Amino acid sequence: MSDLAPLPRKRGRPRLDPATPGHAREGLLRAGVALLTEKGFSAVGLEEMLAAAAMPKGSFYRYFPSKEAFGLALIDRYDGYFQRKLRRHLEAAERAPLDRLADFIADARDGMARHGFARGCLVGNLGQEMGVLPESFRARIIAVFAEWEALLARCLAEARLTGQLMGHDPEALAAFFWIGWEGAVLRAKLERSPAPLDAFAAGFFRLISPSV
């Protein structure tokens, strides 16, 4: 993200020294994403996030004017991470379009498994909590889903060109996929199991390409 001090680039997540200003902000964003994918915004106090990031309470307002501004930064952070993952799979020209979607699903499934299916989707969690969240989150989260839909619709349009998609409309199908996928992530967290992700993915592929 362009407003961060440069960080050491190596595989895996580098350890961050909270005494370094750029590192402190980065550490807080990481801790926030981890806690919000697992617990949601209203269940997590600012103190818990600060403790997870080893940041003294007084320092928070050096980086964010409010918990709301911090929440919006967390949405941006998660969206950036997730779009990189999506593009890596959905724009992989060497793979057939529907195989790219299957690759994304396998990657997301591995990601949930790595955290024992305790962590879901940050924007899905926040969407569920909108009843008690700052209104500024609503438009931002809707915009995030629209971006993910556009990326998937482009991939599905390619699938239609190559005859993989029967007659279905790529944009309607992309909207349908994300609506259902968020439900699948929710159920996977509930059941602590990949079964709902697998059931939704298998159903989706069977329904859009009955011959597959």
Write down the least CB distance from residue 198 to a second copy, Å.
10
Write down the least CB distance from residue 167 to a second copy, Å.
8
The structure tokens listed for 211 are 């011959």
The structure tokens listed for 1 are 């993200």
Residues in touch with a second copy (CB under 8 A): 38-40, 42-43, 118, 120, 124-125, 127-132, 138, 141-142, 145, 166, 168, 172-173, 175-176, 178-184, 186-187, 189-192, 196, 199-200, 202-204, 206-208, 210
Q: Which is nearer to a second copy, 26 or 182 (CB)?
A: 182
Q: What is the DSSP string of 175-195?
A: HHHHHHHHHHHHHHHHHTSSH
Q: Which is nearer to a second copy, 154 or 187 (CB)?
A: 187
Q: Which is nearer to a second copy, 39 or 67 (CB)?
A: 39
Kind and range of the H or E run holding 137: helix 136-161
Q: How far apart are CA 181 and CA 204, in angstroms?
A: 10
Write down the least CB distance from residue 7 to a second copy, Å.
28
Q: Which of 193, 192, 197 is nearest to 180 (CA)?
A: 197
Q: Which is nearer to a second copy, 63 or 178 (CB)?
A: 178
Q: Which is nearer to a second copy, 96 or 202 (CB)?
A: 202
* Residue corresponding to tokens 């930064």: 73
Write down the least CB distance from residue 190 to a second copy, Å.
4
Q: How far apart are CA 120 and CA 185, in angstroms?
A: 6
Write down the least CB distance from residue 82 to a second copy, Å.
16
Q: How far apart are CA 8 and CA 24, in angstroms?
A: 14
